[in-house]
Structure 1
């Protein structure tokens, strides 16, 4: 299934679409400050609007700090809960209602590589939402001990 990803980080817009799948739009509020480390430009929930096939959905990115889990992104689409959370330096796992359905990788450049679990009952909406989350926020994160080491290294002359 072909997935089209249109990410414009400076403008704060993302659209994921494809034949037979719902269109997912994620938009950053106009005039909002831009965090250049986040492809969509912010991790602040109040500054983001998510729609799936034109219907509003909820999105809650965590703050993105020390722990890998702080880079998780939660979305609720028509009663279905999605969570994208780093599981390695470069990859994040996508979970639907508590069940792992795939592993995604994106460096924030508007491309997403995905490995979907064949027995997960994957739907076109799952693919569209997971791809959108990975494209908008990137995937993967350093382990906490490496981040702490970097901080300590910066403090030592």
Structure 2
């Protein structure tokens, strides 16, 4: 993990939460009131500089919650915002982090919107929880880990197309 410990973020619902990255190799999310999450990239895999954890290929990623391996499926990250989604199945629930604006992504559990996360794919993650849904400590663990590992937000497809056309015109 990073040599200099980051001051934990003070989450409005779950207290102090620490996110630590070890380059593009691994990350750790922990806090007093949440399950510990680790996410590791296979050291033999080629690191993609565009992704904080180094890959979006699920064959090269291992995610664990309190030591238990969980199913992690990142989208390929192409033109649409939806293609940047990341899915996790844990304890019978389906979690999804998907961009919903340029800076942030929405976290859902079984289709219920739990909150919004913002991160540049680094150790600083900001969560804004919604009022209404019952929130679980593991919701925070998963949200912080995914936001840090893959970053949040994405441009809408029309903006990406305009950028691509602009870059192609001399």
Range class of TM-score, shorter chain: over 0.9
User: For structure 1, which runs of at least 5 residues remain unmatched after alignment?
Assistant: none
The number of residues matched between the two structures is: 156
Structure 1 partner of 2:124: 111
TM-score (structure 1 length as normaliser):
0.97
Contact map agreement 2:28 2:145 (CA 8 A) in 1: yes
Structure 2 partner of 1:81: 94
* Corresponding residue SS for 1:51: strand
TM-score (structure 2 length as normaliser):
0.90
- Aligned equivalents of 2:19, 2:118: Cα separation in 1: 14
Cα RMSD over matched residues?
A: 0.8
1:118 CA displacement: 2.5
Q: Is 1:3–2:17 an aligned residue pair?
A: yes
Q: Is 1:50–2:63 an aligned residue pair?
A: yes
* Corresponding residue SS for 2:16: coil
- Aligned equivalents of 1:139, 1:23: Cα separation in 2: 21
1:90 CA displacement: 0.4
Structure 1 partner of 2:153: 140
1:129 CA displacement: 0.6
- Aligned equivalents of 1:66, 1:150: Cα separation in 2: 11
User: For structure 2, which runs of at least 5 residues remain unmatched after alignment?
Assistant: 1-14
Structure 2 partner of 1:153: 166
Segments of 4+ moved more than 2 angstroms: none
- Aligned equivalents of 2:89, 2:38: Cα separation in 1: 14
Which deviations, in whole Å up to 9, do the C-alpha atoms of 1:70-120 show, x marking residues without a partner? 000000012111000000000000000110000000011211000011321
- Aligned equivalents of 2:94, 2:17: Cα separation in 1: 21
- Aligned equivalents of 2:26, 2:90: Cα separation in 1: 19
Report matched runs for 1:30-69 at 5 Å. Answer: 30-69=43-82
1:20 CA displacement: 1.9
